[in-house]
A and B are shown apart, each in its own frame.
Chain A
Amino acid sequence: MPGIDECLLEAMALPGALGASLVDWTSGLALGTAGDSPVGDHETTAAETAELARSAAEFDSFTTAADGPGAGPPVEDLIITTRAGYHVLRFVETSFDSSVFLHLWLDRDSGNLALARLRLRDLAERLVLG
């Protein structure tokens, strides 16, 4: 039954993990951080990734009725690939009103995107379901 820090440490144990954080996408607040930020400042990264997550969570094209009803946004994760790395943003669904996601930053050469995506899904569930 992990808390925020245990969850981030587990994410950092993934191959190629460079940085991890739990971010609130309404406000841009980092609730917890581990490892590094691509810009050397977790708070800046949190504010920037929050804008991205908010767009995905709120734009109609990603939240159509076809995805069915649910508590949180139907978007599950966002994947950004850059020349040097991967970023996976995984939405965390809570049964009270919240707007948080996990952000994992991976090294492109040593990271495994498919594995990271699966593990992050698992971590996002265990973070709130125990």
Chain B
Amino acid sequence: MSRAAVSPMLVRLAAEKATGALLRDHGTLYLVDGRVVHAESPAAPGVDVLLTTGGRLPREGWDEAVDRAGAHRAVGRFLVDSGRLHDGELEICHLGAVFDAAFFALSPTSGPTRFRYGVGHWFGTVRPVSAEAVERETVRRRELLDAVWPYAAVDTAPVVPRPASPGQTVGARQRVLLAAADGERTPAELARLLGRPAFHTLLDVRRLAAAGLVETPLAPEPAPPPQAFLPALPVADPDIALLRRLRDALEAHL
């Protein structure tokens, strides 16, 4: 299966081993030597939310790390070196956050894509990932969502639970999600509330919708078909042809 590049600019920047920030409508990717070292998107909870929501790190611990190491672009490293976090935890959490934010940052957009050479992120480098791997995973995630339940309307609508059928069971993670769904919160808001990656929440919502446990909103009215145009008649200049016929007809009556 041939796949179009998610972002041709990202492919080019990876090839030229660029360092800087790739700014798109829905988020930003940070590159060092052409590899993705960080990503953020307003749609995806950051590492701070993931670590503090579940109580793994007190908010003050995070703030102090940013204060002390942000200027050196080494917040991630500082969290480990100061004993707040273990290497494996940092890598698992940060990689999860990077692929999550990248999924939204690389979502289809008509807006401009810009690259600021040399710009780095204060979190610092943890575990660089090839741009190709990020692109491939982003495409895989899009396909996975649609394979589960091809109704993108559930991604952005408030999550409205539906009663389970008799005997129908729900996994523990999805039970927590359903319990937090008050009929108003969207998947992105639920992700932030629960301290979970946003894509994981989208996927769980689609799985729940496919199981009939979450409402699937009606798709918006399809846009009216474009105005049908009559095929142009092969007449060089219809006005002149008409005028000639009128003149001929009038002369015939003289």
A residues within 8 Å of B by Cβ? 1-4, 7, 22, 24, 26-29, 31-32, 43, 47, 54, 57-60, 63, 73, 92, 94-100, 126-130
- B101 part of interface (Cβ distance < 8 Å): no
Could you say which of A31, A54, A92, A129 has the most chain B C-beta atoms within 10 Å of its C-beta? A31
Secondary structure at the B interface, as helix, strand, loop or mixed, is: helix
Are B89 and A96 neighbours in the complex by a CB distance under 8 Å? yes
Are B200 and A31 neighbours in the complex by a CB distance under 8 Å? no
Chain B residues with Cβ below 8 Å from A126 are 88
Q: Which residue of B is nearest A74, CB measured?
A: B172
Are B91 and A31 neighbours in the complex by a CB distance under 8 Å? yes
- B140 part of interface (Cβ distance < 8 Å): yes
Instruction: List 7 tightest A-B contacts by C-beta distance, closest first.
Output: A58-B171, A127-B88, A3-B87, A96-B56, A130-B86, A96-B54, A26-B200
CB distance from B102 to the nearest CB of A (A): 11
Q: Provide the bound-state CA to CA distance between A116 and B196, in Å.
A: 31
Are B53 and A59 neighbours in the complex by a CB distance under 8 Å? no
Q: A59-B171, A73-B172 are in contact. Are A96 and B50 (CB under 8 A)?
A: yes
Chain A residues with Cβ below 8 Å from B93 are 94, 96, 98
B residues within 8 Å of A by Cβ? 50-51, 53-57, 86-93, 95-96, 99, 127, 136-137, 140-141, 144, 169, 171-174, 194-197, 199-200, 203-204
Chain B residues with Cβ below 8 Å from A100 are 92
Chain A residues with Cβ below 8 Å from B57 are 96
Q: What are 6 A-B contacts defined by CB distance under 8 Å?
A: A59-B171, A96-B195, A97-B50, A97-B53, A100-B92, A127-B92
